[in-house]
Structure 1
Amino acid sequence: MLARFTPTWMVRATYDIAPKTLTALGVKVVFTDLDNTLIAWNNPYGTEALREWMTALAREQIQLVVVSNNSHKRIKKAVAPLGLPFISRALKPLPFGLKRALRQYHVQPEEAVMVGDQLMTDVAASNGCGVRSILVKPIIDSDAWTTKLNRQLEKIVMRALKHRHPELKFRKELINGQHN
């Protein structure tokens, strides 16, 4: 059961994921959660660090796509200033949204990664369809009310994961070839 929630890698922040490392890993598309992964859930405009990361991804010819459980309207409004494509109502932790994204962007699971801040949704969906996952710490400590229950369950699952896999820890950067 814990395998479903085990991330491939753990990195402190989304913007610490080096696009050159992703290229070396054969990644063509980065799927990312929206709230508290790409942008703070209560600040839809993003940051300069996000824009710099997006530019670095583009230089490496890596497509960035938001895959979120949010409604089409909510995501469209949030990503409009960033000009990002998205998949709404992804139904994470089920793999349907990620499978749809793989088909839409014509990539195999090994050519993609999913970046997210939740074990219970992002990592579980990734593992459900064979996409490597990168768990990141939430951008801010507060969550939308809908996420608070998941966070409590996540603490229990993370304790069990760390007990079984003591090597699991957040790192400053993604290191090519080094899985947690």
Structure 2
Amino acid sequence: MLEKFKPTWMVNSIYHVRPAELKEAGIRAVFSDLDNTLIAWNNPNGTKELKDWMTSLKEVGIPLIVISNNSHRRVERAVSPLNLPFVSRALKPLSFGITRARTRLGLEASEVVMVGDQLLTDIAAANVAGVRSILVRPLLDSDQWNTKLNRLMEKGVKKGLLKKYPEQTWQEGLNDGIK
């Protein structure tokens, strides 16, 4: 049961995921959760660090697509300053949004990675879709009201994962830990 929530990698921040490491791992596209993964949920403009990371992805030809459970209007408003494609109402932890984006790009499951800050939605959806995943620490300690419940339930899952997979720890990049 815990395998459903086990990430492929655990990286401190999405901005630490280096495009060269992604290429080396055979990744041709990055799918990312929006709130508290790509942007702070209360700062839709993003940061210079985010924009620099997006530029580095673009330079090596790796597209970034937002996969969010939020409404079309909410996601569109958040990503329009970043000029990013997206899938809204992704229905995570189901694989619908990930599969839709992957099919749109014509890529195999082995060629994409899903990045997110929540085990119960982002990582579970990646595992259901058969794609690799990167769990990142949330950008902020605070969450929207609807995420707080997930965080409470996630505590038990994290404890179980740590007990079953003690070798899996937080890393600075993909090549710093278990593959």
Shorter-normalised TM range: over 0.9
Per-residue CA distance 1:64-120 (angstroms, 9 max, x = gap): 000000000000000010000000000000111111111111111100000000000
Quote the Cα distance in structure 2 between the aligned partners of 1:177 and 1:145. 33
Matched pairs, number: 179
Tell me the secondary structure at the aligned position of residue 175 of structure 1: helix
Superposition RMSD in Å? 1.0
Tell me the secondary structure at the aligned position of residue 31 of structure 1: strand
Tell me the secondary structure at the aligned position of residue 80 of structure 1: helix
Aligned residue in 1 for 2:54: 54
Aligned residue in 1 for 2:31: 31
Quote the Cα distance in structure 1 between the aligned partners of 2:7 and 2:105. 23
Q: TM-score, normalised by structure 2?
A: 0.98
CA contact (8 A) 1:21 1:176 kept: no
Tell me the secondary structure at the aligned position of residue 174 of structure 2: coil
Aligned residue in 2 for 1:87: 87
Aligned residue in 1 for 2:122: 122
- What is the CA distance between 1:174 and its match in structure 2? 1.2
Tell me the secondary structure at the aligned position of residue 81 of structure 1: helix
Note the 1:1-180 alignment, pairs <5 A: 1-175=1-175, 178-179=178-179
Tell me the secondary structure at the aligned position of residue 61 of structure 1: coil
Q: Which runs of 5+ in 1 are unaligned?
A: none
- What is the CA distance between 1:168 and its match in structure 2? 1.7
Quote the Cα distance in structure 1 between the aligned partners of 2:109 and 2:36. 24
User: Post-superposition, which runs of at least 4 consecutive aligned residues in structure 1 deviate over 4 A?
Assistant: none
Quote the Cα distance in structure 2 between the aligned partners of 1:120 and 1:62. 26
Per-residue CA distance 1:113-152 (angstroms, 9 max, x = gap): 0000000000000000110000000000000000001001
Q: TM-score, normalised by structure 1?
A: 0.97
CA contact (8 A) 2:9 2:177 kept: no
Tell me the secondary structure at the aligned position of residue 115 of structure 1: strand
CA contact (8 A) 1:25 1:176 kept: no
Quote the Cα distance in structure 2 between the aligned partners of 1:42 and 1:152. 20
Quote the Cα distance in structure 2 between the aligned partners of 1:161 and 1:178. 14
